[in-house]
Amino acid sequence: MSKILVFTEFQNGKIKRSSQELLQFAATTGNTVAALVLGSTDGAQAAHHGATEVLFSADAGFNSYNPELFTVATAEAIQKSGATVVLASSSSTGKDLFPRVAAKIKAGVVSDGIEIKITGDDVKVKKPFYSGKCFATATFENTNVKIVLMRPNQLPVAAADVSKSATVTELTFTKPSLKTIIKDIVKGTSEKLDLTEANIIVSGGRGLKEAGNFKMLNDLADVLGATVGATRAVVDAGWVGHSMQVGQTGKTVAPSLYIAVGVSGAIQHLAGMSGSKVIVAINSDPNAPIFQKATYGIVGDAFEIVPALTAEFKKVLAH
Q: Which residue in the set 6, 22, 87, 224 belongs to the binding site for another protein (CB under 8 A)?
A: 224
DSSP, residue by residue, 84-107: SEEEEE-SHHHHHHHHHHHHHHT-
Return the range that interacts with another protein (CB under 8 A); candidates 23-31, 35-43, 211-219, 307-315.
Answer: 307-315
Return the range that interacts with another protein (CB under 8 A); candidates 24-32, 48-56, 167-175, 267-275.
Answer: 267-275
Site size toward another protein, by CB under 8 A: 99
Cα dihedral 294, 295, 300, 306, rounded to 10, equals -100
DSSP state, residue 155: S
**Footprint (CB under 8 A) of another protein, residues 30-89:** 64-65, 67-68, 71
Phi, psi (deg, nearest 5) at residue 149 = -105, 120
Q: How far apart are CA 223 and CA 44, in angstroms?
A: 34
Q: How far apart are CA 4 and CA 62, in angstroms?
A: 22
Least CB distance from residue 261 to another protein, whole Å? 12
- 119 is a site residue for another protein (CB under 8 A): no
Residue placing its CB nearer to another protein in the complex, 105 or 168: 105
- 158 is a site residue for another protein (CB under 8 A): no
Q: Which residue in the set 1, 60, 316, 318 belongs to the binding site for another protein (CB under 8 A)?
A: 316
Residue placing its CB nearer to another protein in the complex, 115 or 169: 115
The widest CA-to-CA distance across the chain, in whole angstroms, is 62
**Footprint (CB under 8 A) of another protein, residues 137-156:** 137-143
Q: How far apart are CA 12 and CA 111, in angstroms?
A: 25
Of 313, 318, 317, 212, residue with least CA distance to 259: 313
**Footprint (CB under 8 A) of another protein, residues 177-196:** 178-190, 192-194, 196
